[in-house]
Amino acid sequence: MSETFFGPDFTQLQEQDPEIASVVISELERQRKSLQLIASENFTSPAVLATLGSTLSNKYAEGYPGKRYYGGCEEVDKVEVIGIARAKELFGAEHANLQPHSGASANVAVYQAFTKPGDTVLAMSLPHGGHLTHGSKVNFSGKWFNVESYGVRQDNELIDYDELRDIAKRVKPKMICSGATAYPSLIDFKLIREICDEVGAIMWVDAAHFIGLVAGKAIPSPVPYADVVSFTTHKVLRGPRGGMILSKAAHAAAIDKAVFPGMQGGPIMSAVAGKAVALKECATQDYQDYAKKVIVNAKALATALEKEGMRAVSGGTETHLALIDIRSTGVNGKVADERCGRAGISLNKNAIPYDPETPAVTSGIRVGTPATTTQGMGVAEMSTIASLIARAIRDGEDDAKAAAIRNEVYSLTAKFPVYPR
């Protein structure tokens, strides 16, 4: 053969399945043209994308490097060993497991490693910013475990650590979870460690949303304090969709056993390779600069939205996302989401603390800056984006006005192209 085969061949896809190929192209165009403000989304690098379509995806590798249940794992073992070493070095962790298929899968493994069905777990309330896997009644965590919830104070919308400590002392949880999906402020991990020690609880941090900021040294790390840290590998981290777990060495065996064979079979080795590539990218100065810019842009966007008459929950943001109370617009979160979508702006409706609306409607929206920062946008563009959001919420129901806003969105994103080649 004259050329090395790497994997993806889009020409072949077009010839073999033009229907799916057309969707791949149309999604690329959507990402290029629209404003991507979903806090949990980003644009992963071409190098990471290359691993996902590689022949590594053909290999079944149940087990761990050097201890597989299938032969022929010599090459994929190298990938996982490299990825583990990079994760431990980047985060200063004693142990790392790159195999979970997703953040939720990683969380399942954490529960399995440290608890039994019926045990008491203390975690952040979903209406106050927590995640489904932190005890929602529609999720396995709420069905299989006795989950007690803590929340934020009504006066400043920050975590009520006094309440957290009081509940922990009363219910004596086996494990305390910190971390959220819609909490824009920093978490006091040192204080939570103290509370865990007071009641003898495992300290678990679900860092899915902010781990990329930790990798970029833009915010404090939970790793020195926590027994275990779980997270997704996309979002700010800018890797492939997947999960990862870091832990103290004392918990390594329990974590690995909980992931395999406890929670899943073979890992997706192409994704493990993608995680390894992303971790190498995160160790660069360029990435550290990026992580800091993400926060600068999020602060600027929150401030600009307040100038448009909306309210930033907890007074602003210290991370990559802002939670915005839009009740002053006279429009609920569901309608705002729909109107922004018509105008080429992707964001999501989101409950705010003590929200009078139902979860399906909400009084707020959540916006994030990982993707726009990857594109190269800065503070000036955040002001423009806030204006576009405000106009879309106000006028997006009108077809002509939505089209006009959409054209302005396209003009803005054209200056910051995604995957330009």
Burial 179-207 (b: 16+ CB within 10 A, else e): bbbbbbbebbbeebbebbeebebbbbbbb
Mean pLDDT (whole number) for 207-225: 98
Mean pLDDT (whole number) for 389-400: 97
Mean pLDDT (whole number) for 215-229: 98
Give the pLDDT confidence of 160-187 residue by residue, as tens digits. Answer: 999 999 999 999 999 999 999 999 999 9
> What DSSP string runs through 34-81?
SEE--TT-----HHHHHHHTSGGGG----EETTEESSS--HHHHHHHH
Instruction: Please give the structure tokens belonging to residue 254.
Output: 């329990």
Place of tokens 């229907």: 19
Q: Which of 68, 86, 193, 235 is catalytic?
A: 235
Q: Phi and psi of 360, rounded to 5°?
A: -80, -15
End-to-end CA distance of the chain: 27
Our answer to whether residue 119 is catalytic in this structure is no
Give the pLDDT confidence of 190-214 residue by residue, as tens digits. Answer: 999 999 999 999 999 999 999 999 9
What SS3 state is found at 325? strand
Place of tokens 């495992």: 202
Our answer to whether residue 137 is catalytic in this structure is no
- Asked whether residue 235 carries a pLDDT value surpassing 80, the answer given is yes
Angle in degrees, CA 216, 219, 221, rounded to 5: 90
At residue 343 the predicted structure's pLDDT band, cuts being 50, 70 and 90, is very high
What are the residue ranges spanned by the domains of the chain?
Answer: 33-41+287-414, 59-282
Please provide the average confidence, as pLDDT, over all residues in the chain: 96
pLDDT of residue 142: 87
Instruction: Please give the structure tokens belonging to residue 80.
Output: 């996982």
Give the pLDDT confidence of 37-73 residue by residue, as tens digits. Answer: 999 999 999 999 999 999 999 999 999 999 999 999 9
Q: Which of 88, 217, 241, 292 is catalytic?
A: 241
Our answer to whether residue 194 is catalytic in this structure is no
Q: Phi and psi of 136, rounded to 5°?
A: -60, 140
pLDDT of residue 3: 74
Give the pLDDT confidence of 113-166 residue by residue, as tens digits. Answer: 999 999 999 999 999 999 999 988 899 998 999 999 999 999 999 999 999 999
CA distance 364 to 352: 6
- Report, in angstroms and rounded to the nearest whole number, the Rg of the chain calculated over CA atoms: 22
Global confidence as pTM: 0.96
Q: Which of 77, 80, 157, 206 is catalytic?
A: 206
Q: What is the CATH number of domain 59-282?
A: 3.40.640.10
Our answer to whether residue 60 is catalytic in this structure is yes
pLDDT of residue 2: 55
pLDDT of residue 8: 83
In the CATH hierarchy, which top-level class contains the domain 33-41+287-414? alpha beta
Mean pLDDT (whole number) for 83-102: 98
Give yes or no for a contact between 120 and 171, defined as CB atoms under 8 angstroms apart: yes
Give yes or no for a contact between 221 and 194, defined as CB atoms under 8 angstroms apart: no
pLDDT of residue 7: 82
Give the pLDDT confidence of 245-262 residue by residue, as tens digits. Answer: 999 999 999 999 999 999
Q: Is 66 left (phi over 0), alpha (psi -120 to 50) or beta?
A: left
Our answer to whether residue 232 is catalytic in this structure is yes
Q: Is the peptide bond before 417 cis (omega within 30 degrees of 0)?
A: no
Q: Which of 51, 133, 232, 233 is catalytic?
A: 232
Mean pLDDT (whole number) for 383-396: 97
Our answer to whether residue 339 is catalytic in this structure is no
Q: Which of 41, 62, 338, 408 is catalytic?
A: 62
Q: Which of 33, 41, 60, 327 is catalytic?
A: 60
Q: Which amino acid is at 92?
A: G
How long a stretch of residues is the chain? 421
